[in-house]
Amino acid sequence: MPSSAATASQPSPKKTPPTPPDIVRRIGETNDAALRYVLAPDPQLSRLSRKVREALISDLPPVTAGALLGPAALARHFVASAASGRYRDLFALWELFRARPEECKPVLAERPRALEKGRQALEKAVRLGLRGHAERVAEDINAAQGLIWQWLREALLGNLPAVGTRPAIASALLAREPTLRVPLPPEPDERWLAEAATAHQSTGMLAPPVDALLASGVDRLPATVATLSLALGHYPDRVGPLLDRVDLDSDEVGQITAWARDHGFADRLSGRIETLVDKTAAEDRVRGLALWYAWQERGVDLPLPEALRAPTIDDLDLTRPESAVLLARLIAEGAELDPQRKLDELAIRNRQLAEKAYEAFVCASLAVTLPTPLEGNPIVKEGTRCEYCRAWTWVRPGHERRCPRRAEAAMAEPPAPMEVPGAGPPPLRPPSLPVSDDPVAAWEAELQNAGE
Ligand SMILES: [Zn+2]
């Protein structure tokens, strides 16, 4: 609606005083916002009567109230806040002092004890940070200016041996004072190196002495995706040696192999893995096969170990997926192995194991049919059989999607009759014989059934 022209021409209504949320929106409620405001205040807010201002400030955040009242009030707020432990308000106090010294001096002169408490809070933060969150002290080193920097610097110089044990702090301090002699460890341990690597990654640089020490010890870094990324960015010639130290049993090895693949270092890792798998398979075919399969599943494509090339699977557990995968691989390479016969033999000995083996074979795309003894397996409850091949669908989820008989059934079926919406699921089809393009197979299957 074109109402703006009409309202613009109306005389403005009598000003109502701003509400506390209006003031917070105008001034902000951070130290930086309060500093910006107090150095360039809004004349309209400055003209508010003392009565109106006093009514407002009790509902404002202290820093906003201080900014509204002017530099001296804001300085009083920073001093009180730092004295109560929020030592980082000293940084803002210094900025305010630098911009408005004459208005701040009386406040500082009146509050020596509060300032001393603020300084003690700063020193305590340094002591705690030297044992804990080093990155916080490093941030303070970057932020502190003027007298506050002198206080912080003195606190650090009083703890120089501890500073040397925390590369994040040592680097920040040396970046600011390159000529300072910080006692760095001659042979830093893994923890020190890892902290230096993290500081390097988060700040993008390290002071030269800390950087040199990290570079000299980068081969001893714990091999993780984070340290590998650091090495790739800054010490590319060290990536290979670092990969040689990857613990192949570690929980992170899947991510590390993915990283290696993405950055063109797959061979460096797969060579080691191949050696390990070959050795394991030579000692124990079952364990070697499980290991080979686990790496395949992680996307590391390894050649089949020599010990697993023998054209037999008689010593392997046929219910395991890796056994079926090996069987399929050996057959593809020309071995004379008959998976259907293996399955039928197992079904006579143990129907439950045969149900599992059938599913493993189906998953490995082996051309098998459900052994006849399993069709009436009494351990399988009604309703848990595949409607196409009669397999026990509880063995492994998702059988219906990969059932080899399903596609064949779909091709052989006439189009399904129109379903009445809401009439419930269609009835299960009666068990049908495997449908095949080869009619002889159907005849033979019928003959087998008749002979039972
Ligand atoms: Zn099926």
Q: Read off the tokens for 435.
A: 């449908």
**Distance separating alpha carbons of residues 392 and 247, to the nearest angstrom:** 40
Mean pLDDT, rounded, of the chain: 86
How far is ligand 1, taken at its centre, from the CA of residue 389, in Å? 4
How far is ligand 1, taken at its centre, from the CA of residue 449, in Å? 18
259 is a domain residue: yes
How far is ligand 1, taken at its centre, from the CA of residue 399, in Å? 6
According to the model, what pLDDT value does residue 450 have? 47
According to the model, what pLDDT value does residue 285 have? 95
333 is a domain residue: yes
Dump pLDDT digits (tens) for 206-259. Answer: 999 999 999 888 878 888 888 888 889 888 888 988 898 888 888 888 899 999
Q: Are residues 304 and 316 in the same domain?
A: no
Alpha-helix residue ranges (DSSP H) falling in 112-236: 112-131, 134-143, 146-157, 160-165, 167-176, 190-203, 208-217, 225-234
Q: Read off the tokens for 324.
A: 């079926």
Q: Which of 268, 286, 309 is the last residue of a domain?
A: 309
According to the model, what pLDDT value does residue 382 have? 77
Range of the domain at 272: 217-309
What is the full per-residue pLDDT of the chain (452 aa) written as tens digits?
Answer: 444 444 444 444 556 888 999 999 999 999 999 999 999 999 988 888 888 888 898 999 999 999 999 999 999 999 999 999 999 999 999 999 999 999 999 999 999 999 999 999 999 999 999 999 999 999 999 999 999 999 999 999 999 999 999 999 999 999 999 999 999 999 999 899 989 988 998 888 899 999 999 988 887 888 888 888 888 988 888 898 889 888 888 888 889 999 999 999 988 888 899 999 999 999 999 999 999 999 988 888 899 999 999 888 889 999 999 999 999 999 999 989 999 999 999 999 999 899 999 999 999 989 899 998 888 788 788 778 888 888 888 778 888 888 878 777 777 665 554 444 444 444 444 333 333 344 445 444 444 554 43
How far is ligand 1, taken at its centre, from the CA of residue 448, in Å? 20
Q: Are residues 316 and 294 in the same domain?
A: no
**Distance separating alpha carbons of residues 247 and 252, to the nearest angstrom:** 9
Q: Are residues 363 and 298 in the same domain?
A: no
Burial class (CB in 10 A: 0-12, 13-18, 19+), 5: exposed
116 is a domain residue: no
197 is a domain residue: no
According to the model, what pLDDT value does residue 85 have? 96
The dihedrals phi and psi of 224, each to the nearest 5 degrees, come to: -130, 170
- Residue in the structure block whose two tokens are 């309209």: 44
253 touches 225 (CB < 8 A)? no
Q: Are residues 321 and 298 in the same domain?
A: no
How far is ligand 1, taken at its centre, from the CA of residue 378, in Å? 17
According to the model, what pLDDT value does residue 5 have? 44
How far is ligand 1, taken at its centre, from the CA of residue 17, in Å? 78
Q: Are residues 296 and 388 in the same domain?
A: no
184 is a domain residue: no
How far is ligand 1, taken at its centre, from the CA of residue 219, in Å? 53
Rounded to whole angstroms, what are the CA distances from 60 to 16, 27, 64?
18, 11, 6
How far is ligand 1, taken at its centre, from the CA of residue 263, in Å? 41
How far is ligand 1, taken at its centre, from the CA of residue 388, in Å? 5
C-alpha 11 chain-centroid distance? 59
Q: Are residues 324 and 408 in the same domain?
A: yes
Q: Is the pTM of this model over 0.75?
A: no
Q: Are residues 292 and 345 in the same domain?
A: no
How far is ligand 1, taken at its centre, from the CA of residue 401, in Å? 8
How far is ligand 1, taken at its centre, from the CA of residue 298, in Å? 27
Q: Are residues 335 and 304 in the same domain?
A: no
Q: Which of 274, 309, 344 is the last residue of a domain?
A: 309
According to the model, what pLDDT value does residue 291 have? 94
How far is ligand 1, taken at its centre, from the CA of residue 358, in Å? 10
Q: Are residues 403 and 334 in the same domain?
A: yes
Q: Read off the tokens for 231.
A: 């090495």
How far is ligand 1, taken at its centre, from the CA of residue 383, in Å? 13
How far is ligand 1, taken at its centre, from the CA of residue 87, in Å? 70
How far is ligand 1, taken at its centre, from the CA of residue 393, in Å? 7
How far is ligand 1, taken at its centre, from the CA of residue 231, in Å? 50
**Distance separating alpha carbons of residues 123 and 118, to the nearest angstrom:** 9
How far is ligand 1, taken at its centre, from the CA of residue 451, in Å? 23
How far is ligand 1, taken at its centre, from the CA of residue 28, in Å? 67
Q: Are residues 352 and 269 in the same domain?
A: no
Q: Which of 294, 309, 324 is the last residue of a domain?
A: 309
Work out how many domains the chain is built from and give that number. 2
Q: Are residues 322 and 289 in the same domain?
A: no
How far is ligand 1, taken at its centre, from the CA of residue 337, in Å? 23
Residues in the chain: 452
436 is a domain residue: no
Q: Are residues 395 and 406 in the same domain?
A: yes
How far is ligand 1, taken at its centre, from the CA of residue 406, in Å? 7
How far is ligand 1, taken at its centre, from the CA of residue 330, in Å? 24
296 is a domain residue: yes
Dihedral sign computed on CA atoms, order 16, 20, 21, 25:
positive
According to the model, what pLDDT value does residue 14 have? 55
240 is a domain residue: yes
